[in-house]
Amino acid sequence: MDDRSFVTAQDFILDVKRFWTTEIYPTLKADFENRAASLENTPNTTEEIELLIGGTTLHRFYAWLERHLQRLKYSGRYGLYPYHDGRRGEFMTSVDGIKNNADRLALDPNLTLPDYYRKVDIHQHPGGVWSDEIAGFVYERGARSTTPLMGKAHKDLHQRFTDFIASKGTTPSHILDMGCGFGKSTRPFFETFKDAHVEAIDLSAPCLTVGAHEVGSRAENSLRYRQMDALKTDYGDSTFDLVTSTMLVHELPPAEIDQLFGETVRIIAPGGIMAHLDFHHLPNAFARFIHDGHARRNNEPFMSSWADIDPIALMTEKGLINLQIIPFQEAEGVDPENNPYWRFPWTIVYGEKPSAQP
């Protein structure tokens, strides 16, 4: 496939996704509200909403586009996967150098990958983000258009999250980014806290390789990408003063979320911070209906069970304090309570480990 055809087709898919986001979603929402207004009791469960609009042509069209635009983006004739597959040699040669840089990249070929991770092609990525050596490149390219309205501003989302941490007046010296992927969430942390030692961990060797390669020698920090399970790290107790993740929690089953929070608290030093940016705040039943449908259609098997969990109760049980659940404005002008267009329900889950008793 030639570059021009690939870029044109991907641009087309993204434009249709924008249309879906800004035209079809608001039309579906208005249709739901009109139908609900004519009922005696407003539907306030996802089951009731399913009964009301689930079978309409509009909803089916909306759902079909959500599923199949993502499929076309990854696996279609001009999909990300066939494009990168056809250039496999070229892409893999480009990361040869980083594989020998043990200060920057530490892979663990003996790491056992959990079942929840291996058994699903997460967000319709063929083979998941881990099973093929080119997966990091495919994911990096795909992530450029995950939130269709943000375009070039997409990077801002990660920076805005880091800015939130910085606004706490803290200057962490040891930072861990869990589930760092190809490092998009790690970058604003090491660029903002230049004196900090930063560790970025993930299960996916192909993603870590791309992350470490992209940083090259540009980072001023001491910075390592390590292949490790965030649920059972090899860090000692109280190693970090900031442990963070972005879009990791919703990928985990409930028992693993419990484990993740427990592990996080163990490796945070007294007085340190835990902050996860993920999808959680769903202000009404319609938002929940849309979110559960997205989870099913986009191969996100644990997104809905995470939405059922009360993070305040979980963090309280783990002994954290100063807890905050903050609906997150991923871009200027977005309204997390009632946005006119489709968006992910971005939410910061924040807690602090109590300082050691004198």
Ligand X SMILES: C[S@@+](CC[C@H](N)C(=O)[O-])C[C@H]1O[C@@H](n2cnc3c(N)ncnc32)[C@H](O)[C@@H]1O
49-53, long-range: CB within 8 Å, 24+ apart, which pairs?
A: 49/285, 49/286, 49/289, 50/289, 53/28
What is the nearest approach in angstroms of ligand X to the Cβ of residue 117?
5
**Tokens at residue 96, please?**
């040869």
Using the minimum distance from each CB to ligand X, give the nearer residue, 203 or 212.
Answer: 203
Q: Which is nearer to ligand X, 251 or 330 (CB)?
A: 251
- With beta carbons less than 8 A apart as the criterion, state whether 180 and 208 touch: yes
Min dist. Cβ of residue 231 to ligand X (A): 5
Q: Given the complex with ligand X, which of 62 and 193 has the nearer CB atom?
A: 193
Shortest distance, CB of residue 146 to ligand X, whole angstroms? 9
Q: How far, in Å, CA of 90 to CA of 132, rounded?
A: 15
| Residue 154 neighbours by CB under 8 Å, 6+ apart | 143, 144, 146, 147
Q: How far is the CB of 285 from ligand X (least distance, A)?
A: 26
Least CB distance to ligand X at residue 116 (A): 8
Residue 36 or 212 with smaller CB distance to ligand X? 212
Looking at beta carbons only, is 246 or 264 nearer to ligand X? 246
Using CA atoms, how far apart are residues 334 and 345, in angstroms rounded to an integer?
11
CB of 258 to ligand X, least distance (A): 13
Instruction: Count CA within 13 A, CB hemisphere, residue 322.
Output: 12
Shortest-Cβ-distance residue relative to ligand X: 181
Nearer to ligand X, 59 or 276 (CB): 276
Determine how many CB atoms are found less than 10 A away from the CB of residue 315. 24
Cα separation of the two ends of the chain: 66
C-alpha Rg value of the chain to the nearest Å: 21
**Partners of 208 in the β-ladder:** none
Tell me the closest approach of the beta carbon of residue 295 to ligand X, in angstroms: 13
CB of 128 to ligand X, least distance (A): 8
In SS3 terms, 242-289 reads as EEEEECCHHHCCHHHHHHHHHHHHHHEEEEEEEEEEEECCCCCHHHHH
Measuring CA to CA, how many Å separate 169 from each of 9, 163, 271? 45, 10, 13
Q: Which residue carries 């942390």 as its tokens?
A: 189
For the CB of residue 170, give the shortest distance to ligand X in the complex, in Å.
Answer: 20
Nearer to ligand X, 257 or 315 (CB): 257
- Is 56 or 299 the residue whose CB approaches ligand X more closely? 299
Which CB sits closer to ligand X, 209 or 246? 246
Q: How many Å apart are CA 146 and CA 138, to the nearest integer?
A: 13
Rounded CA separation 158/160 (Å): 5
Q: List residues near ligand X by CB under 6 A.
A: 117, 129, 143, 178-181, 184-185, 201-204, 207, 229-231, 246-248, 251
Spatial strand order in the sheet of 197-202:
105-106, 222-227, 197-202, 174-178, 240-246, 268-279, 346-352, 321-327
